[in-house]
Amino acid sequence: MRKQKGFSLIELLIVVAIILIIAAIAIPNLMRARMSANDSSAAASVRTINTGEIAYFSAYPTLGFPVALASLGGAAPCTPASANACLVDNFLATNGGGTGKSGYNFNATGSASAGSLINDQFYSTAAPFSTQFGTRSYCSIQDAVLRVQPAGTITVVGSYNACSALTAMQ
C-alpha cells in the first residue's frame, strides 16, 4: 500500500470555505471601523478649522474671518500673512488639492453679516464624498460648536443659516 503525502481536495475546499466565512464576517466590521475613523477625523478637522478661523480673526481684526479656507494654510516654509496665515495644515486648507482628507470634502467661508464692514461670521463644512467614506456631514459657525446632520445624511450643509439650525454634536 502506498502512503500519500499532502492534502485531499475536500480538505482544501473546507479550509477555503472557512477562510471565506471569516472574511465575510470581518470585512463589514473593518469597513464600519474605517468609516468611524473617517467621521472622527472629519470632526477633528472641523474643530481645527474653527481654531484657525478664530486665530485668524484675532490676528487680522480689520479683515475678520477669511473668505476662503485656503487663507488659513500656506505652503512650507510658511510665512504668515493674510493670504496664507499658516494656522492649519496646508493639506487641510487646500482640501487635499481637491481630493479631500479621510474621504471628506472640507470648506470654510467667511462673510459679513448685515451692517458689518468686516467678515464677522463664517461657517465651515465637512461632507463625505460618498457613504463609502463616512456616515454624516459636519459644520460649524463662529461659536465653534460642532454641528451634525442626522446619521446617513451626507449632503453638504448649504449655508450659514442651515448650519446654525442643526443639532450640536454630543
Residue 124 corresponds to which amino acid?
S
Q: Which residues of the chain are modeled with pLDDT < 50?
A: none
54 neighbors 144 (Cβ within 8 angstroms): yes
Alpha-carbon span 6 to 39, nearest angstrom: 48
Contact 56, 72 (CB under 8 A): yes
So what's the pLDDT on residue 110? Answer: 92
pLDDT of residue 49: 95
C-alpha cell at 90: 496646508
pLDDT at position 8 is: 86
List the one residue out of 124, 162, 128 whose CA is nearest residue 143: 124
